[in-house]
Amino acid sequence: MHFCNASVRSGVPLTQLLSPSVPPYYGVIFLREERPLAPEVLTHWAETLSQPLFGQPFSCTLAQVPSRQEAMEQFENEMRLMR
């Protein structure tokens, strides 16, 4: 038996099992997408899946998405302001 991609050892209750330290890459699991889930990749998938999911095609544009570095800097600035 497997739980959270980890083998279950006999005698260990399910409530004491831990999830993997690194979460799986859901883009690969659900979309078979191996590229990083950048805004343009997410937009492509939203447009591709709109017809089968909602019965009509639509286009989408993601708002300005900060880079990881920009997000970290913004977070650090906000934390400094809260002190």
Q: pLDDT tens digits, residue range 26-81?
A: 666 677 778 887 888 888 888 988 888 889 998 888 888 788 899 999 999 999 98
In contact, 15 and 21? CB cutoff 8 Å: no
Phi, psi of 37, deg, nearest 5: -80, 70
pTM of the model: 0.44
In contact, 33 and 41? CB cutoff 8 Å: yes
